[in-house]
Amino acid sequence: MVPGSLVLIGGDPGIGKSTLLLQVSTQLSQVGTVLYVSGEESAQQIKLRAERLGDIDSEFYLYAETNMQSVRAEVERIQPDFLIIDSIQTIMSPEISGVQGSVSQVREVTAELMQLAKTNNIAIFIVGHVTKEGTLAGPRMLEHMVDTVLYFEGERHHTFRILRAVKNRFGSTNEIGIFEMKHSGLEDLANPSQMFLEERSKNLAGATIISTMEGSRPLLVEIQSLTTPTAFNNPRRISTGLEYNKLILLMAVLEKKAGYLLQQQDVYVKVSGGVKIDDPAVDLGVVMAVASSFKDIAVNMNDCFIGEVGLTGEVRRVSRIEQRINEAKKHGFKRVIVPVGNMKNADFPEGIEIIPVKDIRECLDIAFSNVF
């Protein structure tokens, strides 16, 4: 928490941004004065939730207001060390034309808050809503104005949440926080891989385990796929937690280079646990999950797949291979299928079989040869 900084937290509605900031507020109130400004909920509603989440210190103030002039006056009166604005789209400046949430209002209010942070040496957190496309609502320059941009990700109907930094002037953007939403609030997960693997599919076709990197933290996640004959002229392709275009590309490679005819198949791919993955190293696991469902043959439940798949079907090397394999070994996996390019000068752990492959055909042969 840097004095004079402006931090923007974005996320889908109902994902838990207010809960996260309330929990942070209760801790910050023990070291300084916190002013929590809500433009969406009444002070009584926030008080009820705050009491459920933890002890409230006397240095924690609630203020339900949408007028920027009133907020500024209250800040000058209380002189807080920390200011939280929930949300930036609900606060308006009467000096600027436009309705609440408009581009002009959001830009002007953010500029006022930035000036407030720098002149009074206050750490300010502002909440921003996210559009359907997953970007922060309002002007794009909003992200350039603030010092730090955090995204709070996850699916509303799943309990897992990821706090990811996409911009940080005061630290690294390679770290993430993984939490579980409970009745008492958000709790950090010391071993998220174990949580994601607890309900994994065992000896069922269409399920594979991949090792991905979330920031600098390795994470084991299950990829599930379902292929079924289509009843339509244009087969459906649906992905959850994985980029749609990546799925289309990998299916094309599987058809062209391995001979899997998927033109008349509906294909559904899902990342279990509500996690969104954008790591090239998951390509091999996605290909194997689709192939497993298409052939209706389960892959070995003790196998873990790591590798990027190219357009010619080759399996390309990935970064931080030792960390990925160590995570797989820690959770009891017996074999890891990796790109052959990662075998040079690598310090692999003992006690786990490392199988290098150069293309998806070789990986398919290995995965389906000794299935039990």
DSSP-derived secondary structure letter, 265: E
The two structure tokens encoding residue 43:
């002070």
The torsion angle over the Cα atoms of residues 310, 315, 320 and 326, rounded to 10 degrees, is 140
Burial of 306 (0-12, 13-18, 19+ CB in 10 A): buried
**Residue 237 reports pLDDT greater than 90:** yes
Q: What is the DSSP string of 136-164?
A: BSS-THHHHHSSEEEEEE--TTSSEEEEE
**Residue 334 reports pLDDT greater than 80:** yes
Q: How far is CA 234 from the centre of its chain?
A: 31
Mean pLDDT of 360-367: 94
More confident residue, 203 or 362: 362
Residue 260: the pLDDT is: 94
Task: Measure the CA angle with vertex 246, ends 243 and 249; round to 5°.
Answer: 155
Which residue in 60, 65, 66, 77 sits closest to 22, CA to CA? 60
80, 33 contact by CB (below 8 A): yes
Minimum mean pLDDT range among 119-123, 189-193, 338-342: 189-193
264 residue type, one letter: Q
Which residue in 355, 232, 348, 350 sits closest to 288, CA to CA? 355
7, 125 contact by CB (below 8 A): yes
Residue 136: the pLDDT is: 61
**Residue 131 reports pLDDT greater than 80:** no
CA–CA separation, 124 and 268 (whole Å):
42
Alpha helices in 207-270 (DSSP H): 244-258
First vs last Cα of the chain: how many Å apart?
A: 52
Q: How confident is the model at residue 372 (pLDDT cuts 50, 70, 90)?
A: very low
Cis ω for the linkage preceding 87 (within 30 of 0): yes
DSSP-derived secondary structure letter, 66: -
More confident residue, 227 or 154: 227
**Residue 364 reports pLDDT greater than 60:** yes
CA–CA separation, 156 and 78 (whole Å):
36
Q: Which residues of 167-185 are buried (b: 16+ CB within 10 A; e: fewer)?
A: ebeeeeeeebbbbbbeeeb
What predicted TM-score, i.e. pTM, was given to this entire model?
Answer: 0.75
Q: What percent of the chain has pLDDT over 90?
A: 55
**Residue 284 reports pLDDT greater than 90:** yes
More confident residue, 243 or 231: 243
**Residue 132 reports pLDDT greater than 80:** no
* Cα dihedral 37, 6, 76, 66 sign: negative
Identify the top-confidence range among 33-47, 164-178, 254-268.
Answer: 254-268
Q: What percent of the chain has pLDDT over 70?
A: 95
Burial of 61 (0-12, 13-18, 19+ CB in 10 A): middle
Residue 135: the pLDDT is: 60
Side-chain-side CA neighbours of residue 127 (13 Å): 25
Q: How confident is the model at residue 291 (pLDDT cuts 50, 70, 90)?
A: very high
Residue 196: the pLDDT is: 79
**Residue 158 reports pLDDT greater than 80:** no
CA–CA separation, 95 and 67 (whole Å):
10
The two structure tokens encoding residue 107:
């830009």
- 66-82 confidence digits (pLDDT tens): 999 999 999 999 999 99
Mean pLDDT of 71-95: 92
The two structure tokens encoding residue 110:
């953010």
The two structure tokens encoding residue 218:
């390795």
Side-chain-side CA neighbours of residue 174 (13 Å): 5
Q: How confident is the model at residue 242 (pLDDT cuts 50, 70, 90)?
A: very high
User: Directed axis angle between helix 103-120 and helix 68-78, to 10°?
Assistant: 10
